Amino acid sequence: MAPDRLRPEAQRAVTVNTEPADFDRAEMLEQVGGDRQLVKELVELFLGTSPGHLERVRQAVAAGDAMAVRQAAHALKGAAGCVGAKKVWQVALDLETMGRTADLSRAADSFTALEPALERLRLELVRLLEEGEPG
């Protein structure tokens, strides 16, 4: 991987005309102490586990099960926090709070926001992995 791929300027240049990216590659790399192998593993883990988290949130919201919403959102929030995904983290936190306070009146709206946010994040992470491939 070329070193400038992870420089913030390079990253900002790509996303300048669209919505701001959900995560900051440079910050994430710094967070793991510059260990690119660990970044790769974490991203792969996130890509592997987040659909399950999302599915559990979906079912819990549909069933109106506050406790299940809280637990599923909590797990997704934790994972999102680890890859530095601020938007997904925030929406997951909102859902977790709704679950904890047993007020699911806005849960469906939040879930509607969560789904595309997560999808976008996943695409960004997939791109990060592809760029990270040697050659």
Part of the chain binding other proteins (CB under 8 A), chosen from 2-10, 11-19, 71-79, 106-114: 71-79
Spatial separation of the C-alpha atoms in residues 106 and 111, rounded to whole Å: 9
Spatial separation of the C-alpha atoms in residues 30 and 110, rounded to whole Å: 30
Place of tokens 């929030």: 77
Residue 35 C-beta: closest distance to other proteins, Å: 7
Residues 24-43 as x/- pattern, contact with other proteins by CB under 8 A: ------xxxx-x--x--xx-
**Main-chain dihedrals φ then ψ at residue 34, nearest 5 degrees:** 75, 15
Part of the chain binding other proteins (CB under 8 A), chosen from 12-20, 79-87, 109-117, 118-126: 79-87
Q: Name, in order, each residue with C-beta under 8 angstroms of 61's C-beta and a sequence gap of 6 or more.
A: 69, 95, 104, 107, 108, 111
Terminal alpha carbon distance of the chain: 8
Residue 82 C-beta: closest distance to other proteins, Å: 5
User: Is residue 57 near other proteins by the rule CB under 8 A?
Assistant: no
User: Is residue 77 near other proteins by the rule CB under 8 A?
Assistant: yes
**Where along the sequence are the contacts to other proteins (CB under 8 A)?**
30-33, 35, 38, 41-42, 45-46, 48-49, 71, 74-75, 77-84, 89, 93, 96
